Amino acid sequence: MDLLIEGLIAFLIVGAGFFGIVGSFGLAKLPDLMTRLHGPTKATTLGIGGVLIASMLFFLWERGHFSWHELLITLFLFLTAPITANFIAKSFLHRRMSRRTELPPTGSSKGWATFDGPPIGADGEPMAIAPADRPGGRDGERG
């Protein structure tokens, strides 16, 4: 039983290390910024998750009491990794203004949010989300 848990912890640590290095290798190797975003946001997050699960098991096995901190860090990273990926993608789109013609069309009345503003509603305030029956509204401020 002890040997089984030790083997599981060791396997988790090595697996997490493998995913961490693959994520950073993807960051170094891939040719374009948007493709480079995929590496760290997915592979490194699983690497950290594996290390944290291994450490939870390790302290449970050695100390006997369950520690919640690791779960908190894992949840925090799972929640914030998509936010940082979205911000970096938006700043990349913002810096390459010529790219706006390479993006696919939105299919609705307004362009993408980095380049175009929100529609103005009936009360004169900008609406965050246009209602489904009346997409668009009047023209908003230029972003």
Partner 1 sequence: MIDIALVIGFSCFAAALVLNLYRLTVGPSIADRVLALDTMVINGIALLILYGMYEGTAVYFEASLLFAMVGFISTVAYCKFILRGDIIE
Partner 2 sequence: MTLLLKKLFPHPLLTATLTVVWLMLVNGVSAGSVIMGLILGTIVPFLTAPFWPDRPTVRNPVRIAAYILIVLWDIVRANIHVAYLVLFVPSAKLRTRFVTVPLELTSAEAITVLAGTITMTPGTVSADVSGDGRALLIHCLDAPDPDAVVAEIKQRYEGRLKEIFE
Q: In the complex, which residues of this chain contact partner 2 (CB under 8 A)?
A: 18-19, 22-23, 25-26, 29-32, 34-35, 37-39, 41-43, 45-46, 67-69, 71-72, 78-79, 81-83, 85-86, 89-90, 93, 102-114, 116-119, 127-132, 135-137, 140, 143
User: Binding partner of residue 71 among partner 2, partner 1, none, CB under 5 to 8 Å per kind?
Assistant: partner 2
Q: Which is nearer to partner 1, 63 or 138 (CB)?
A: 63
Residue 46 makes CB contacts below 8 A (sequence gap 6+) with 16, 19
Tokens of 119: 């529609």
Indicate which single residue of 10, 35, 97, 109 sits in contact with partner 1 (rule: CB under 8 A).
10
Closest listed residue to residue 119, CA positions, set 96, 136, 142: 136
- Closest contact distance (angstroms) between CB of 142 and partner 2 is 10
Closest listed residue to residue 49, CA positions, set 85, 23, 30: 23
Tokens of 53: 């699960």
40 binds partner 1 (CB under 8 A): yes
Kindly give the interhelix angle for 2-29 and 45-63, rounded to the nearest 10 degrees.
160
Tokens of 133: 């029956």
What b/e sequence results for 5-39 when a residue is b if at least 16 CB atoms lie within 10 Å of its CB, and e otherwise? eeeebeebbeebeebbebbeebbeeeeeeeebbeb
- Closest contact distance (angstroms) between CB of 120 and partner 1 is 19
Binding site for partner 1 (CB under 8 A): 6-7, 9-11, 13-14, 16-18, 20-21, 23-25, 27-28, 33, 36-37, 40, 44-45, 47-48, 51-52, 54-55, 58-59, 62-63, 67, 69-70, 72-73, 76-77, 80, 83-84, 87-88, 90-92, 94-95, 114
